Amino acid sequence: MNEEGIIEQTMRLFLRETANLPNVKMVIIDDASSDDTALLVKNFSKQAGGRIQLLQRQLPQAQTGKGNALNWAYQQVILDSRDRDHLICGVLDADAYMAEESYQKVIQYFAQDEKLDLLQTRVGMLESRNWLQIMQDIEFTVINDLIQNTRNRLGNAAASGNGQFIRVSSVTAQRPWGNALLEDFEFSTRFLMEGKKTLYAGDAVVYQEAIDKPRPFIKQRARWTQGGLTAYLATGAGCCGVLLSICQLRRR
């Protein structure tokens, strides 16, 4: 919603990095933007040769949460698919950038492991111009990478939203995403509780814009904290997530 400042760059980079990957398509969800986001996508998609599709939500149904927007668009995407067994659906932020090598890595992971249900890529920052942005890059590329690799060993890697990929045939719910503030974490928690296989891929990277000012950074982290708690409450997980990890470790 209201991403006119970045969306054209995102589309240009996508077309450049997937020029050799004709089976990869971008679907942009416009959640009733009040700026020119939808217009920019419409005009740009005309020269994209069908590689970029715009899905527009309209008020009053729009702007009811990211989970609702994803569920709405997801149903339309899978309806257009003739082979859901070989369809991978990824969730990327409006400012996301992935190189061709990372797209290929994602495809390889799913192709080599037919039991893989969800893959989360490593997150990096597009720019690191001040101390706050540098710290965010360290957080994701070092600390978060270490945590996710530890979760890999326990068999319960978590989704981080940006760079989250799922095998469509593994999804059984009509509305896979909930409306917790961290709908990605809620999604992967539900997957784990259903016995699905999740994996973190440190060698496939999705880049995003780093926050450059303290106030929006604090607001983001407060939202993440609240979202993590509501995701656990929404799934009824709580301590079950820890118990699941311990049981899986013992079995191995």
Helices (H) and strands (E) in the chain, counts: 9, 6
The confidence score (pLDDT) of residue 235 equals 55
The confidence score (pLDDT) of residue 246 equals 39
CB contact set of 74 (below 8 Å; sequence gap of 6+): 89, 176, 177
Phi, psi at 240, each rounded to 5°: -60, -35
Each residue's pLDDT tens digit, 55-107: 999 999 999 988 899 999 999 888 877 787 789 999 999 999 999 999 999 99
Is residue 227 within 8 Å of residue 180, measured between CB atoms? yes
Each residue's pLDDT tens digit, 18-67: 999 999 999 999 999 999 999 999 999 998 988 999 999 999 999 998 88
* CA nearest neighbour of 97 among 12, 28, 10: 10
List Cα–Cα distances, 223 to 99, 126, 175, 192, 245, in angstroms.
29, 22, 23, 23, 26
Lookup: tokens for 21: 């990957």
The confidence score (pLDDT) of residue 63 equals 92
The confidence score (pLDDT) of residue 168 equals 93
CA atoms of 142 and 127, how far apart (whole Å) = 16
